């Protein structure tokens, strides 16, 4: 008989790890070894009771049961525990002047409609009109023409289209643009509002139990992609938002905060097809080399 050391409190993690087969994939072995070691240390450190273990199992079960094709409660749990941002941060450490990334979030669930530069993504006409201008460059400052710039955002009431089907037109505040020959993009929209992450599941229970609010500061999401570069998934945040310092999912990075300036310029407004006054925000992003055509 193939014998292993018997289970003891002192050697608990080692006993479990001794059960791993010799042909276990090396990376899986590395990850599991660390996970089991930390899990056992955690149980011992807090002196986990039977009831607490049961409650933890119940919480994870409810988290799984809340998931479906469009709702991912486990990712939301990872978000509010700061794990999503940690994974994102260690895998995309700041490089020279390359634009920083942040969480994708759960609302990029439909394809953005292709739009021309200068088009509006606002299909409703409620809220403060806003012009977004920007550029895509490489780390040497060279413009990147024909980059795809996928944008999506919440409306002036803090809702994405997919949260109010039948009430908000499909694809409202979503657009897929391509940069011009000088790497520039611009489009019309409305100023987004802060909003609560979904709180009708176990993650909401966790936030309430720990005295945390569910709000994300107002932001506009971007995925910028171009051949020969790493894709960039990020947001820009409104500098004046009250939740900037307490994002429920820890997504704010200093370099992503922008001023949504107030503009009062009737001639410019007419030329752009915007009512006057309007707001204006600029986002110049820098892609890092990588992807298919990387040197
Ligand atoms: C979002 O910005 O869309 C988002 C990100 C993480 C959790 C919930 C929402
Ligand atoms: Fe969002």
In this structure, the residue with its CA closest to atom 2 of ligand 1 is: 105
CA distance 38 to 225: 37
State CA 117 to chain mean position distance: 25
Task: From 245, 240, 222, 238, select the one nearest 105 (Cα to Cα).
Answer: 222
Is residue 295's pLDDT more than 60?
A: no
Percent share of the chain, pLDDT over 90: 91
Q: What is the pLDDT of residue 44?
A: 98
Return the CATH fold of 73-287.
Protocatechuate 3,4-Dioxygenase, subunit A (2.60.130)
Tokens of 295: 């040197």
Q: What is the pLDDT of residue 96?
A: 74
Q: What is the pLDDT of residue 169?
A: 96
Task: From 200, 195, 201, select the one nearest 216 (Cα to Cα).
Answer: 195
Cα of 33 vs centre of ligand 2, distance in Å, is 35
**CA 193, 238, 276, 153 torsion-angle sign:** negative
Domain spans in the chain, listed from the N-terminal domain onward:
1-47, 73-287
44: phi then psi, degrees, rounded to nearest 5: -70, -40
Residue-averaged pLDDT of the chain: 95
Cα of 105 vs centre of ligand 1, distance in Å, is 4
Percent share of the chain, pLDDT over 70: 98
Cα of 256 vs centre of ligand 1, distance in Å, is 15
Is residue 110's pLDDT more than 90?
A: no
Which of 70, 71, 79 has most ligand 1 atoms within 8 Å of CB, for mutation?
79
Cα of 253 vs centre of ligand 2, distance in Å, is 14
- 148: three-class secondary structure by DSSP: strand
What would the pLDDT profile of 225-272 be if each residue is shown by its tens digit?
999 999 999 999 999 999 999 999 999 999 999 999 999 999 999 999
Q: Determine the average pLDDT of the residues in 67-82.
A: 93
CA distance 92 to 98: 10
Q: What is the pTM of this model?
A: 0.92
Q: What is the pLDDT of residue 71?
A: 87
Q: Which atom of ligand 1 is nearest to the CA of 198?
A: 8
Cα of 133 vs centre of ligand 2, distance in Å, is 19
* Cβ atoms within 10 Å, residue 106: 17
In this structure, the residue with its CA closest to atom 3 of ligand 1 is: 105
- Contact by Cβ (8 Å): 172, 157: no
What would the pLDDT profile of 211-227 be if each residue is shown by its tens digit?
999 999 999 999 999 99
- Contact by Cβ (8 Å): 258, 88: no
Q: What is the pLDDT of residue 1?
A: 54
In this structure, the residue with its CA closest to atom 5 of ligand 1 is: 105
Q: Is 39 left (phi over 0), alpha (psi -120 to 50) or beta?
A: alpha
In this structure, the residue with its CA closest to atom 4 of ligand 1 is: 105
Q: Determine the average pLDDT of the residues in 181-200.
A: 97
> What do you get for the CA distance between the two ends of the chain, in Å?
55
Q: What is the pLDDT of residue 4?
A: 81
> What residues does ligand 1 touch, defined as CB less than 6 Å away?
76, 79, 103, 105-107, 197, 216, 249
Q: What is the pLDDT of residue 2?
A: 63
Is residue 115's pLDDT more than 80?
A: yes
pLDDT band at 294; cut points 50, 70, 90: very low
- Contact by Cβ (8 Å): 37, 16: no
CA distance 144 to 75: 32
Q: Is pLDDT larger for residue 77 or for residue 3?
A: 77
The residue length of the chain stands at 295
Tokens of 101: 């990334």
């Amino acid at each position: 008989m193939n014998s292993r050391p018997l289970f003891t409190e002192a050697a608990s993690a080692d006993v479990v790890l001794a059960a791993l087969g010799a042909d276990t994939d090396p990376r899986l072995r590395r990850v599991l070894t660390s996970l089991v070691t930390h899990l056992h240390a955690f149980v011992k450190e807090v002196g986990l009771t039977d009831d607490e273990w049961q409650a933890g199992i119940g919480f994870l079960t409810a988290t799984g049961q809340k998931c479906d094709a469009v709702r991912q409660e486990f990712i939301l749990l990872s978000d509010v525990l700061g794990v999503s941002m940690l994974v994102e941060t260690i895998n995309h450490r700041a490089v020279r002047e390359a634009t920083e990334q942040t969480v994708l979030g759960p609302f990029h669930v439909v394809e953005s409609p292709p739009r021309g530069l200068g088009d509006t993504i606002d299909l409703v006409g409620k809220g403060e009109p806003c012009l977004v201008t920007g550029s895509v460059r490489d780390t040497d400052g060279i413009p990147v023409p024909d980059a795809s710039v996928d944008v999506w955002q919440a409306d002036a009431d803090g809702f994405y289209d997919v949260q109010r089907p039948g009430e908000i037109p499909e694809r409202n505040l979503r657009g897929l643009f391509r940069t011009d020959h000088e790497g520039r993009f611009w489009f019309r929209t409305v100023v987004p509002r802060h909003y609560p992450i979904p709180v009708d599941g176990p993650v909401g229970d966790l936030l309430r139990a720990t005295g945390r609010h569910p709000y994300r500061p107002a932001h506009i999401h971007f995925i910028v992609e171009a051949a020969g570069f790493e894709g960039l998934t990020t947001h820009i945040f409104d500098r004046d938002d009250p939740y900037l310092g307490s994002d429920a999912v820890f997504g704010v990075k200093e370099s992503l905060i922008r001023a949504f300036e107030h503009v009062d310029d009737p001639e410019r407004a007419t030329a752009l097809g915007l009512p006057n006054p309007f707001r204006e925000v600029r986002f110049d992003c820098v892609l890092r080399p990588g992807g298919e055509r990387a040197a």
